[in-house]
Amino acid sequence: MRKFKNVRRNKIIDNKTVKRTFLGDARKIVVGVGLGLVGPVVAPSITAAQETGDENRTLIHGLVKDLKDKDQNKRWRAAAYLGQAAFRGTDISSAVPALKEALKDDMAVAWRASAALVFHYSKNGNWTEVKKLLKSKNTHAMYGASSGIADIANKGMDISQVVPDLISIVNQGRSNSKLAASALTFHYVNNRQWSEVDKLLKEESKEIKKGALDALKEAPLKGVDVKPLVPTLEGLLNDRSVRDKVVSVLTFHYALHQQYDKIDGWMNSKNMWIKKSVLNILETAASELGLKITGILPSVAKVLGDEKIVLRLNAAEVFFNVAEKGRDISAGILALEKALDDENGYVKSLSAGALSYHYLYTGNYEGFRKLLFHKDDMVRETAIRTSERYGEKMGQ
């Protein structure tokens, strides 16, 4: 895990303010892995404990104890840790009674406890219990179960046993229909049942469409091309209720096929959320898939001068991710150099990191030297840290 690149972002957009928390090398535990539905927390090393039975039992015992603590924060974190452990394959059987009791707790605890139980039951083939949670009259348990099922489907697990139940939820328009639609979409995409996904996208309910689109954004990360759905997706661009999500899915598709002319128009949109959707996907396309997105970088460079901090931040992240992979970012050099004077420290730092990687990869040591002796402390420190990361990459 990189020290320079943030591993957890907490963005608060208010009056052009963005708050971001960098957690360094802390472990990131996410229950609700596929959709981020339950929420990230920092946890002890559960994966390390898995390898030694005694330590694992001790850890589970401690988490069960925390589930009963008076401190609500301890309770929901314990439920989240147990869920993550179960999701990764750890046996949490000894915690099941406590997790069932935790279903009576408030939303933060019950949701996570229900998801943890879904991970545990599904791993052991106990779909009867999964169905009970999905049909629970306890709203928090029902939502947690829906979330958990979506996550295991995203992971690739076969959820055929509960597909009829999920379809029923969607058809009835129940309050958890968005989560059910996400779970179904993951399942259908896994099995390349494009006609079924198409039906979900054509539902009247905006929540069902949103759920399907949330899941579709994950498809490219698993090497799946959503080409069969492109006509329907393009038709949804006129639906304002889901336009930003549609743009995200299509941006991924167009980036995979290097159809940057179709993305360029969105980069010039006056709608901040459309721009943000595109930038978020380009960032992921560069960092997770290593796609060559140089064709759209001139448009991204323009966003580095936008008045909104959140957009400048996203644009800087795109350049950083592209540069880190050793890709050409020449189209953004002037804009990045100007961004070294940005009022926001993270925009400044990411821009310095992108320039550092570019200069090091291209052998422009004079350019890199200017960063090392820059007037700004943050720029200098970023250049030093980036050179260390570059050295590690090159085996130096």
Q: Please, are residues 261 and 297 in contact by the beta-carbon 8 Å criterion? A: no
Sequence-separated (6 or more) residues with CB below 8 Å from residue 348: 339, 340, 341, 342, 376, 378, 379
Please check whether residue 207 is in contact with residue 176, taking contact to mean a CB–CB distance below 8 angstroms. no
Q: Which of 187, 177, 186 is nearest to 209 (CA)?
A: 177
Do residues 203 and 233 touch, judged by C-beta distance below 8 A?
no
Domain assignment of residue 6, yes or no: yes
Q: Is residue 60 part of a domain?
A: yes
- The domain boundary, picked from 124, 139, 154, lies at 139
Of 147, 85, 152, 65, the closest CA to residue 110 belongs to 147
Predicted pLDDT at 169: 96
φ and ψ of 17, to 5 deg: -110, 135
Lookup: tokens for 90: 């750890």
Q: What integer pLDDT is reported at residue 268 of this predicted model? A: 87
Q: Which helix (H) or strand (E) holds 28?
A: strand 28-31
pLDDT in tens, the chain (396 residues): 333 333 223 332 232 332 232 222 222 333 333 334 433 333 444 444 444 566 677 889 999 999 999 999 999 999 999 999 999 999 999 999 999 999 999 999 999 999 999 999 999 999 999 999 999 999 999 999 999 999 999 999 999 999 999 999 999 999 999 999 999 999 999 999 999 999 999 999 999 999 999 999 999 989 899 999 999 999 999 999 999 999 999 999 999 999 999 999 999 888 999 999 999 999 999 999 888 899 999 999 999 999 999 999 999 999 999 999 999 999 999 999 999 999 999 999 999 999 999 999 999 999 999 999 999 999 999 999 999 999 998 886
**Spatial distance between the Cα atoms of 228 and 193, rounded to a whole number of angstroms:** 10
Q: Which residues contact 56 (CB under 8 A, 6 or more apart)?
A: 49, 50, 90
Which residue do the tokens 């396309």 mark?
285
Tell which of 139, 170, 200 closes a domain.
139
317 in any annotated domain: yes
- For residue 56, the model assigns a pLDDT of 74
Dihedral sign (CA 193, 196, 202, 207): negative
Residue 354: both structure tokens together: 């992108």
Q: Are 149 and 159 in contact (CB under 8 A)?
A: yes
User: Whole-angstrom Cα distance, residue 94 to residue 61?
Assistant: 8
User: H/E element holding 279?
Assistant: helix 272-287
CATH code where residue 71 lies: 1.25.10.10
**Does some domain include residue 252?**
no
Domain count, the chain: 2
> Is 211 inside any structural domain?
no
Tell me which of 86, 104, 139 is where a domain ends. 139
Residue 170 lies in a domain: no
Residue 18 lies in a domain: yes
- Per-residue burial over 297-320, b = 16 or more CB atoms within 10 Å of its CB, e = otherwise: bebbbebbeeeebbbbbbbbbbbb
**Burial status of residue 192 (CB atoms within 10 A of its CB: 0-12, 13-18, 19 or more):** exposed
Q: How far apart are CA 339 and CA 341, in angstroms?
A: 5
In a domain, residue 229? The reply is: no
Are 86 and 123 spatial neighbours (Cβ–Cβ below 8 Å)?
yes
Report the predicted TM-score, pTM, of the whole model to 2 decimal places: 0.81
From CA 5, how far away is CA 261, in angstroms rounded? Answer: 30
Domain that includes residue 303, residue range: 260-265+283-396
Structure tokens at 122: 């599904």
Alpha-helix residue ranges (DSSP H) falling in 135-260: 139-155, 163-172, 177-190, 194-201, 206-216, 230-235, 243-256
